[in-house]
């Protein structure tokens, strides 16, 4: 009988002793060797059937519970975290297969071993013991997900985030601690890298801000002085050659100042992620921007034509004026003498489509996307200009969540630069 009970495949098979022995001591000895029930000889068939039926019913219930328990253990083996159960002496009484794999141990070899001595990093043993003691003694509820490293079989430290809870018996007394641990070693490394990257990015932004300040102040000031000196030289020029040289200096300095201003604007725009929008009449804005180019238009004998409604309201940031300014300025720069430029506003469902139409050389199809990207245009020799103005246009429209593009002018030479804005109702 003892051999049967010591075999894990047979230990829950019910055993009935059919015996002539009837003393209390005999019954005690029978229980000790594994008997589940007794019948005195001679046995009554009906009574024997009843006992067998009752014990088999208990066996069936036990098998069902055992099956459910094993199924639960199988589920635990497949979850991606370490799950362990400790008794009051910190001894490991269960660990899932995933946990054993993480630690590098054979599961059977670490059951009943002291969990803290086995795997907790030495510098954290007192802390872990303290938390376990308070949990077992009911002094503390489940602690807030502590983090501490554990040692694998190779003595490698892995950082884990732990969740604790207590297990209780039928009387409500605390018997065990259930722990689940998530390996966050790589996560913490990534967080450290991210923090380092954030610091580098902040430093880069500080350098960028410094560069912008240098552009606005340290470079514009000398350019302003050059402008003043060329104006003085214009008054004192004594020959046509001197006048031509002074005019070249003046023209180059104007381009330099414009380049510095645009570079500073673009740097500022690149640092903006969000902007506020207000109800704006773009018809009035177009008129205002057009009037600011009267002298440039007159110098080129050009005409600026407006094809727009009397009012067309949109939700936009005041920076949108920079889009009109840059597109009209570019059209004037790169259009032939004695031509016209048209600014057209059309309704497009819930948007306005604004187009600036010129009669210049146009933009080749292969360069139509690159024309708005400053860094892609550095080596585009067939595209005129430095590209900062159109990069500003692209950035402002992006911040508005709108589209911008360029197509060929169907009326002949030139291009149509267009962008969209939401209507304001």
Q: What is the CATH number of the domain that holds 14?
A: 3.40.50.2300
Same domain membership, residue 86 and residue 72: no
- Return the percentage of the chain with pLDDT > 70, whole number: 82
Sign of torsion over alpha carbons 86, 87, 90, 94: negative
Q: Looking at residue 379, what is its pLDDT?
A: 41
Is the domain of 110 the same as that of 137?
A: yes
Higher local confidence (pLDDT), 233 or 303 = 303
Are residues 339 and 405 located together in one domain of the fold?
yes
CA distances from 295 to 150, 256, 257, 288, 335 (A): 77, 20, 18, 14, 15
Taking a C-beta distance cutoff of 8 angstroms, is the pair 359, 339 a contact? yes
Region 319-340 average pLDDT: 92
**Under 8 Å between Cβ of 158 and 102:** yes
**Residue whose pair of structure tokens reads 């029930």 in the numeric block:** 37
Phi-psi sector, 338: left (phi>0), alpha (psi -120 to 50), beta: left
The yes-or-no verdict on residue 384 having pLDDT over 60 is: no
Does residue 358 carry a pLDDT above 80?
yes
Q: What is the largest CA-CA distance in the chain?
A: 147
CATH number at residue 109: 3.30.450.20
Q: How many domains does the structure of the chain reveal?
A: 4
Of the pLDDT bands very low, low, confident and very high (cuts 50, 70, 90), residue 80 is low
Per-residue pLDDT band for 368 (boundaries 50, 70, 90) equals confident
Structural contact between residues 341 and 305, judged by C-beta atoms closer than 8 angstroms:
yes
Alpha-carbon distance of 220 to 267, in angstroms, equals 15
CB atoms within 10 A of CB 27: 15
Average pLDDT, the chain: 82
Regarding whether 156 and 283 lie in a shared domain, the answer is no
Q: How many distinct helices (H) and strands (E) make up the chain?
A: 14, 14
Q: Which residue has the higher pLDDT, 26 or 6?
A: 26
Instruction: Kindly state whether residues 305 and 389 are assigned to the same domain.
Output: yes
Which of 270, 298, 331 corresponds to the end of one domain? 270
Does the model's pTM come out above 0.85? no
pLDDT at 326 over 50: yes
150, 158 contact by CB (below 8 A): yes
* pLDDT at position 381: 47
Work out the average pLDDT over 401-413: 90
Range of the domain at 28: 2-76
421: its two tokens = 């804005």
Same domain? For 65 and 142 the reply is no
């Amino acid at each position: 009988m003892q051999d049967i009970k010591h075999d894990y495949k047979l230990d829950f098979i019910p055993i009935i002793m059919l015996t002539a022995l009837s003393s209390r001591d005999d019954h005690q000895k029978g229980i000790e060797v594994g008997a589940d029930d007794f019948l005195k000889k001679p046995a009554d068939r009906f009574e024997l059937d009843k006992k067998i039926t009752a014990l088999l019913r208990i066996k069936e219930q036990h098998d069902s519970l055992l099956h459910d328990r094993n199924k639960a253990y199988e589920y635990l083996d497949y979850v991606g975290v370490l799950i362990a159960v400790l008794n009051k002496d910190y001894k490991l009484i269960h660990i899932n297969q995933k946990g054993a794999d993480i630690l590098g141990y054979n599961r059977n070899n670490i059951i009943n071993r002291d969990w803290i001595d086995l795997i907790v990093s030495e510098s954290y043993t007192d802390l872990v013991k303290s938390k376990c003691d308070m949990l077992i003694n009911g002094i503390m509820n489940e602690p807030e997900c502590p983090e501490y490293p554990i040692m694998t079989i190779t003595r490698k430290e892995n950082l884990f985030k732990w969740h604790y809870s207590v297990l209780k018996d039928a009387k409500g007394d605390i018997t065990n601690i259930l722990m689940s641990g998530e390996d966050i070693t790589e996560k913490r490394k990534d967080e450290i890298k991210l923090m380092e990257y954030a610091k580098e990015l902040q430093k880069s932004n500080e350098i960028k801000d410094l560069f912008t300040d240098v552009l606005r102040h340290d470079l514009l000031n000398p350019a302003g002085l050059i402008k003043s000196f060329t104006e003085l030289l214009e008054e004192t020029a004594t020959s046509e050659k001197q006048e031509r040289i002074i005019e070249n200096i003046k023209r180059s300095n104007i381009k330099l100042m414009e380049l510095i201003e645009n570079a500073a604007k673009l740097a500022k725009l690149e640092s903006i992620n969000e902007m506020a929008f207000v109800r704006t009449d773009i018809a009035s804005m177009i008129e205002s921007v057009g009037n600011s180019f009267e002298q440039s238009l007159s110098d080129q004998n050009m005409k600026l034509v407006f094809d727009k409604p009397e009012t067309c309201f949109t939700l936009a940031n005041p920076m949108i004026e920079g889009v009109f300014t840059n597109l009209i300025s570019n059209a004037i720069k790169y259009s032939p003498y004695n031509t016209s430029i048209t600014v057209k506003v059309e309704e497009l469902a819930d948007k306005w489509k604004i187009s600036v139409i010129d009669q210049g050389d146009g933009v080749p199809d292969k360069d139509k996307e690159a024309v708005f990207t400053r860094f892609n245009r550095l080596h585009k020799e067939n595209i005129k200009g430095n590209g900062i103005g159109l990069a500003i246009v692209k950035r402002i429209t992006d911040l508005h969540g709108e589209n911008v593009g360029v197509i060929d002018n169907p009326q002949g030479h030139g291009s149509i630069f267009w962008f969209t804005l939401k209507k304001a109702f």
